[in-house]
Amino acid sequence: MGGQFFLNADLSLNLTPLLGKSELYSRGIGLFRVTPRWETRTWGVYLPLQCNYNNQFWLGLAGKAGPLLVGFHNLGNIFSSSKMANGGGYSVLIFQYLLKNDTFSLMKLEEARQQFIQSWGAFATQWGINKTMAQIHALLLVSADAMSQDDVMEALTISRGNVNMNIRELINWGLVYRVVIPGERKEFFTAEKDIWKVARQIVKERKKRELEPLMMMLGTFENVECDKRNPEHKAFIDAVSGIRKFATQADRTMEQMIRAEESWFWGNLVKLLK
């Protein structure tokens, strides 16, 4: 049946009497059973309708909450004075629930990995690298083992040239390292897993690629001949001086972060915010 509704049917035959009348055997409660049920991973409701060996028709009821299932073979048992003659109750601990839950978690983990890789790529332009380069970095970052270029190509469905170019650039950024695996001719790569080191390395590279060229450019304006009494000249000098002052302070702050240990940085940041 569709959705979370299902219909089960089963036939139970007790063959132990064929061993002989002198043998000890047990008789099953049900002969034929049809069970409509509504079920999710956590909850479930069951209405078993069965015909037993005594030619009686029973309507049961059961419910599931997590790994625990509790029910009655026959609702008539609730109102009968002869409990066992009319079918008793039962409780079951469903160990399969844990296995299903683990499988569900693994499926969600793979989906989360893919979403993380795509999101990391989308954020890449905010810190100066292209989308593919960031996706490769994200893939290596969340992978437990080092990966070859072929592994990266297969995982991200990109060309060898694209993988090769971006991995080399990630190595230049100090975010990815080559790994030597004995007996392997292929090159393997892994990403820096210490996120504090990753953050410092990104700050270091952005400082080198963006802030330092800006400060060099601003430095060329120090000796410009200007008449400070001229409003146009004064506006230019004030703007350049303000930017240079800010850039110098930013450079010092970034340099401290690059050299600092994680505990020192966060400790000083907390003091600053108090």
**Domain-by-domain residue ranges, the chain?**
5-94, 101-191, 198-273
* C-alpha closest to that of 33 among 49, 13, 45, 55: 49
Query: CA–CA separation, 137 vs 140, rounded Å?
Result: 5
Kindly state the average pLDDT of the residues 250-269: 71
Name the fold adopted by 101-191.
Answer: Arc Repressor Mutant, subunit A (1.10.10)
Token pair for 155 = 């995982």
What value, to the nearest 5°, has the Cα angle with vertex 248 and ends 245 and 253?
Answer: 125
254: pLDDT strictly greater than 90: no
Q: How far is CA 119 from the centre of its chain?
A: 12
Q: E strand or H helix at 232, and its extent?
A: helix 231-259
Kindly state the average pLDDT of the residues 148-160: 93
Query: CA–CA separation, 83 vs 75, rounded Å?
Result: 11
Beta bridge partners, 147, equal: 189
Scored b (16 or more CB within 10 A) or e, 37-65 reads beeeeeebebebebebeeeeebebbbebe
Reported as a pLDDT band with limits 50, 70 and 90, residue 30 is: low
What are the tens digits of pLDDT across the range 179-199?
999 988 899 999 999 888 888
150: pLDDT strictly greater than 60: yes
